Amino acid sequence: MSRTTDFWDRLLLPPGTPGGQRAAVTAEGGRVTVGAGAGTGKTWVLSSRYARLLLTDPDRLPRDILTLTYTEAAAAEMRERIERRVRELLSAPGAPVSTERVQALLDGFGEGWISTIHAFAARLIRESGLSLNVDPRASLVSSPQEEEFWNELEDALEAAELRALAQIYGDDRLRRAAEALDADPTLGAALGRWGADGLRTLAREATELHASLGHTWTLMLDWADDAPRPDAPQVRAAQAAVTALLRPHWTAAWEVWSLVFRALGDEIAARGQKAREEGKSEGAAALLAACADRWTRRMAAPEGPDDEALRLFYVDVAHNVKGASGPLFGAVKEILGMTVGDWQKEQDRDGDRTGLSAFAPDEPLAEPERRLRAALLRFCGTAWGLWDGMKRRRGLLSFSDMILHAREAVEDARVSREFRHILVDEFQDTDPLQFSMLETLREHEGAGLFAVGDPKQSIYRFRHADPALFARTIAEADVRVELNVSFRTRAALLKRVNALFAHIWASGLGAAEGMEGLAFDPLSPVEAPPERDAGTLSPFSVLLSVRRGRGERPARERLARALAAHIAGAVRSGQTVWDKAQGALRPVRWRDFAVLLRNRNNHDLLEHIFAEEGVPVLPDRSTDYFARGEVGDVIALMRTAADPGDETALAGWLLSPLSGVPEAEALRCLEARADPPRGGSPTALADLLRERLPEAASRLSRLELLGRHKGPAALLEDLVRDRRWLSGYDPRYRLRALRNVRRALSLARAYQRGLALSLTGCARWMERSLRGGTRLEEPRWMDRDADAVLIATVHASKGLEYPVVAIFDTARRERPASLVPSRKLGLAFSGLPEFLPGPGEPHDDAGEEPRTMRWERLLSSQGDREEDMRLFYVAATRAQDALWLCGVVGEDAQGNRTLPRGRWTSLALAWLADEEGCGWPDLVDPEVRYVGEDGAHAAAPSAPGLRDAPPAAAPVPTAIPAPDRSGTTLASFSATSFALFEWCPLAWRRRYRQGLDLRWEVPDEGVPDPSGAPPPAGSGGAELGTLAHWILARWPSERVRPGERDTLSYWLSDPRVPARLPAGLRDVWRDPAARETLADWLGRFEGSEAGMEIRRALRMDRARREAPFRVRVGGLPLVGAMDVAWRSPDGPGRWRVLDYKITLPEDAPSELYRAQLAFYALVVRELADRRGEPFEEVDVGLVFLREGGRMGHRQAFPRNFGWDGLRARVLAAAQSAALGDWPPRTEHCRECPWAKGCPAAHGNRT
């Protein structure tokens, strides 16, 4: 390294710079990829990389480095940071740079290339002059111009006049295609089914999608020409892609059912024969036997199955086998891991796999489907070609055109820019066309590529972004760097977020094409002072509302009200968060909260309820611009000025604030129009206006002249200058009204520039946008710095961060099902028109859905689901201090709670249940809480930051009765929670309220085994203990199972076991050291007194393992699970409970163990009483697995035990915990496992 480089590196990379940042800034190589997780400082890395490239090469100038990002705001921030950083470095004492070089660098920023990818493309086109087949003065097509063309296309389609449009904008091929379409009865039938608006929308969306993929309209017309053929290449390629998706499911079915038939073949055959003899040939046993008979010999063949055999078997077993009860199907369930019926349902959970498998891979589409597909492709290709022709004729470019022509400019050696380095931010948001331009740029310029991004944060699939392109770049990179230190999120929260997404992405970031090789890499917190993690808000919480019946809105309303109350409670009670700018804790403010949603469906609900609860709100910008009242008023004004005889428009303007007429006077004028004098004819509204409201009539005449002579923009400019009309709007929304009128002015100016001065045309265009529900984002009108809670979509929050994030989880918006563009097929449609004339037999519309739509759903569903997981990740990683996940769960008529599919809340609950080793309905405080029927929290004060706030102090002392909190208790109580609270309430608070990791049930990582062997690498005590518990819930067993499943060696060596494990345990199982440790523990346990006692109980079919319970004591639910429990054979009413521990007996104080066992004893006593079963005694104890199954702390609780006293202890502990009564028990400090770092332990461990 040269002295110059060393000097700059010391300034750029001071001591303490994380290794990932250092490696990224200094990386050498032609292609460098940087995986930049959320909050890992990628902008700092990019600016530092730019500065280093510039300063370490004496010949390099800003024009040699191309830096691209994806938003104007990001580009502006990047430009400002880079320039500031370089200026600071150049002014450093002793900088090895001459005055001339400093000036050249600073002057060179004026020629630098730091911009969005589209701004770069536009500049490159301009600088290319006439070397491209495009006018260098071409401008970006405006929204009015775009809408006008597609409206014109819709009108031409409806009137069968596409050929007239092609005469203006098309070449010979387009004119022939348009003429054929006008006379095509198949397109006419499609028009009758979907309407001109539906077909226009399809053509527009197909144009946008396929342009981003680098396709052309001529290619789409080629697809249309091929479509009628049974062997159309595009269809064949799609069939191959579908087969590739189905093949793993075919293979998995073959393998698992092979196990069934091999293990149970004789019994299946015998039961099938018996069923047939009894005349039950359609019964479940007979059908299973018939399937086994058809396939057993083929499964035994040494050559293995081909695709066709796999497919046919899959269809056979999915459609022709039924489930039933009884020992045989119980054994089948044991091998499948679920019932036969559930296995069959699982096959179609994420797509119509069984239905699509019924078709042979080379089976052609039905003729009507081929014919309709050809007509729709031809129409879309023609519409696209006419769109391109209109832009070319008028000198306009779309965003895709810019990228396409920029790529052409790069390929043209005459306009080469000779960039030496290309830096790209947010690379995961690249679409295929942009990617091809970047690749062309890199190859033709010989430039180094520095790609920064995060596949986990790719959430713009609707804009055709493809994270697989970044995955491909990573795979081909010369250097790969990961930024894995989070500067954003506190350690306690980051630990929970890492665990959640490690569970979700246990098998990788996705199975969609190109994503298979990417794994989830957790982030680490940056080194920070201890107080950084001392904020009083719980780092992670789940708030649930229960939906009863089919309607979800009441549950959402309760959830929103509870969330508002929690936010208000946190602010008013002074909960604390970390202030990055101050480097200290401070009380939380309204503006520290962001409520994030998948989509805008619940914005209005949240705004309304938050307002009722007194919570100030800052809503995200709406896309319903044309639905705003003031925009409708502007349209009425323009229509009236264009045609004062349009009485509907005139009445709308008269009643709007824009007229300046008081509402009462306007209504009297309209009443006079509606009720003419007896015997007289009605007076025109314009005449009544001149007669009764002359000032308003004069004002309207002036606006009419202004608009007709100078255009619609001049009319609206007058409104923006003279704002007296604002007094007619609600004071709270006047700023919104003004900014929306300004937006209308901008739209009018764009219409005038691109189309005409026509007041009538502009009014008609805006009204059509209003009636058609055109989505347009309204301008920001609220103060971004207001002290208010932000309500926004996850997409709007990208790149931002908030101290507290509440995710309001609702259903994922499904893809439209009628007409959709398709990456693989061009397009797809649902159903066929009722009348589809043409050759062949009439089609049956009531039959199956077209295969192309079923293919499309299967092909796109995987990518859609994977992006939804990435959207969840982006939402969760916006949080700095606390993350609240708010969602709805179901409840059926029997009171059983159910998890809705496709919800983020369901994923989180499944993860928490996996962690706790229980069913999700048994999850308890502090991380999971339920909302009451009134919207209040089911259990009164809970975790700090999510508890009800005390009333704010009144300015004048007032006698306020204290609230009655005698009935306050926890939502539920577990044995572990009770034992810890009895040991030390402060320790309970630190674990269950502050989220600290104070677990006494499992050893710390690195605790040595009694034998002296080190713990297995990479496997913490918790994970190893969870795996031991999982195996012990299934082994030993007295039941005969295929593959000698009763042997310990099966569970520790058979390669099929990991597939049955929860995702979080698979890596532990695969660690040989972990399995060796478990083999030692469990092997010794098997021969121990406890092991033999449990085996005897299992042999007598008395024992239950992982026995979940939920029993109420004095209204308090006691919840959890007992590792193994059974009725003792020593006499009626005698019970036995054993609890496995992987700690050593001395790892935790004996009081903790004794309290936990007393809790289990109480549960057994209460369950026996409620079930009317005899009770004489319960014997409880612990089994220490590390000591070979040695039993300890064994205690008998007889009938005459002081049960009332134990009940009182449990209830008192739960109430004190709920009320916040958490005093330290300092007498335990000397032997407390967590005294280190405890604020109460100071001075008490001497």
Query: Do 25 and 63 have their domain in common?
Result: yes
- Would you call 227 exposed, middle or buried from its count of C-beta atoms within 10 A (0-12, 13-18, 19+)? buried
* pLDDT at 949 exceeding the cut of 60: no
Highest mean pLDDT among 91-100, 719-728, 1022-1031: 91-100
The amino acid at residue 419 is F
The amino acid at residue 53 is L
Mean local confidence (pLDDT), 371-383: 96
Query: Do 15 and 91 have their domain in common?
Result: yes
Count CA within 13 A, CB hemisphere, residue 531: 10
The pLDDT value given to residue 813: 61
Model confidence pLDDT, tens digit, residues 154-189: 999 998 999 999 999 999 999 999 999 999 999 999
Give domain status of residue 595, yes or no. Answer: yes
Model confidence pLDDT, tens digit, residues 576-614: 999 988 899 999 999 999 999 998 888 889 988 998 999
* pLDDT at 966 exceeding the cut of 70: no
Average pLDDT, the chain: 84
For the beta carbon of residue 157, count every other beta carbon within 10 angstroms: 24
CA distances from 623 to 737, 779, 792 (A): 15, 9, 12
Model confidence pLDDT, tens digit, residues 1004-1040: 433 334 334 434 333 345 678 888 888 888 877 654 4
- Please answer whether residues 155 and 147 qualify as being in contact, where contact means their C-beta atoms are separated by less than 8 angstroms: no
Question: What letter does residue 931 receive in the DSSP assignment?
Answer: B
Query: Do 97 and 166 have their domain in common?
Result: no
- Specify the higher pLDDT residue, 933 or 749: 749
Mean local confidence (pLDDT), 774-798: 75
When pLDDT is cut at 50, 70 and 90, the band that residue 45 belongs to is: very high
- State the residue range of the domain holding 278: 243-357
The pLDDT value given to residue 961: 40
For the beta carbon of residue 720, count every other beta carbon within 10 angstroms: 12
Query: Do 205 and 161 have their domain in common?
Result: yes
Give domain status of residue 213, yes or no. Answer: yes
Residues of the chain above pLDDT 70, percent: 87
* pLDDT at 1094 exceeding the cut of 60: yes
Q: Which helix (H) or strand (E) holds 31?
A: strand 31-36
* pLDDT at 633 exceeding the cut of 60: yes
Cα–Cα distance, 436 to 442 (Å, whole number): 10
* pLDDT at 1147 exceeding the cut of 60: yes
Cα–Cα distance, 1010 to 606 (Å, whole number): 57
* pLDDT at 807 exceeding the cut of 60: yes
Q: Which of 286-300, 448-462, 1126-1140, 1228-1242 has the lowest mean pLDDT?
A: 1228-1242
Give domain status of residue 1032, yes or no. Answer: no
* pLDDT at 1046 exceeding the cut of 70: no
Q: Count how many domains the chain has.
A: 6
Find the CATH number of the domain harbouring 688. Answer: 1.10.486.10
Mean local confidence (pLDDT), 758-767: 79
List the structure tokens of 1212. Answer: 């008192």
When pLDDT is cut at 50, 70 and 90, the band that residue 999 belongs to is: low
pTM above 0.75, yes or no: no
Query: Do 293 and 310 have their domain in common?
Result: yes
Q: Which helix (H) or strand (E) holds 701?
A: helix 694-710
Give domain status of residue 1082, yes or no. Answer: no
The pLDDT value given to residue 353: 83
The amino acid at residue 401 is D
- Specify the higher pLDDT residue, 153 or 1098: 153
Query: Do 257 and 350 have their domain in common?
Result: yes
Query: Do 1001 and 925 have their domain in common?
Result: no
When pLDDT is cut at 50, 70 and 90, the band that residue 498 belongs to is: very high
- Specify the higher pLDDT residue, 989 or 662: 662
The pLDDT value given to residue 110: 83
Give domain status of residue 502, yes or no. Answer: no
When pLDDT is cut at 50, 70 and 90, the band that residue 222 belongs to is: very high
Tokens 């000591």 correspond to 1187
The pLDDT value given to residue 457: 94
Give domain status of residue 447, yes or no. Answer: yes
Query: Which residues neighbour 654 within 8 Å (Cβ) at sequence distance 6 or greater?
Result: 661, 666, 669, 670, 685, 689, 696
Find the CATH number of the domain harbouring 1205. Answer: 3.90.320
* pLDDT at 487 exceeding the cut of 90: yes
Query: Do 988 and 1132 have their domain in common?
Result: yes
Q: Which helix (H) or strand (E) holds 800?
A: none
Which residues partner with 593 through β-bridges? Answer: 804
The pLDDT value given to residue 932: 77
Query: Do 7 and 110 have their domain in common?
Result: yes
Find the CATH number of the domain harbouring 865. Answer: 3.40.50
List the structure tokens of 846. Answer: 């009531």
Find the CATH number of the domain harbouring 37. Answer: 3.40.50.300
For β-strands 113-116 and 65-69, DSSP reports them as parallel
Question: What letter does residue 359 receive in the DSSP assignment?
Answer: S
When pLDDT is cut at 50, 70 and 90, the band that residue 488 belongs to is: very high
Query: Which residues neighbour 101 within 8 Å (Cβ) at sequence distance 6 or greater?
Result: 58
The pLDDT value given to residue 1007: 37
Mean local confidence (pLDDT), 1053-1079: 77
Give domain status of residue 937, yes or no. Answer: no
When pLDDT is cut at 50, 70 and 90, the band that residue 1041 belongs to is: very low
- Please answer whether residues 485 and 526 qualify as being in contact, where contact means their C-beta atoms are separated by less than 8 angstroms: yes
CA distances from 314 to 258, 286, 325, 857, 861 (A): 12, 18, 22, 20, 21
Query: Do 447 and 478 have their domain in common?
Result: yes
Query: Do 129 and 145 have their domain in common?
Result: no
Query: Do 406 and 271 have their domain in common?
Result: no
- Please answer whether residues 940 and 1216 qualify as being in contact, where contact means their C-beta atoms are separated by less than 8 angstroms: no
The pLDDT value given to residue 721: 84
The amino acid at residue 308 is E
* pLDDT at 202 exceeding the cut of 70: yes
Mean local confidence (pLDDT), 756-771: 75
Model confidence pLDDT, tens digit, residues 511-541: 766 777 788 999 999 998 989 999 999 999 9
Mean local confidence (pLDDT), 319-340: 87
* pLDDT at 950 exceeding the cut of 50: no
Q: Which helix (H) or strand (E) holds 41?
A: none
For β-strands 485-486 and 113-116, DSSP reports them as unpaired
Give domain status of residue 952, yes or no. Answer: no
- Would you call 132 exposed, middle or buried from its count of C-beta atoms within 10 A (0-12, 13-18, 19+)? middle
Highest mean pLDDT among 215-224, 858-867, 952-961: 215-224
Model confidence pLDDT, tens digit, residues 1151-1192: 889 999 999 999 999 999 888 889 999 999 999 988 888 999
* pLDDT at 1052 exceeding the cut of 70: yes
For the beta carbon of residue 471, count every other beta carbon within 10 angstroms: 23
* pLDDT at 330 exceeding the cut of 60: yes
Cα–Cα distance, 357 to 352 (Å, whole number): 9
Mean local confidence (pLDDT), 783-804: 86
The pLDDT value given to residue 1004: 40
Cα–Cα distance, 331 to 318 (Å, whole number): 18
The pLDDT value given to residue 515: 76
Model confidence pLDDT, tens digit, residues 97-118: 899 999 999 988 888 899 999 8
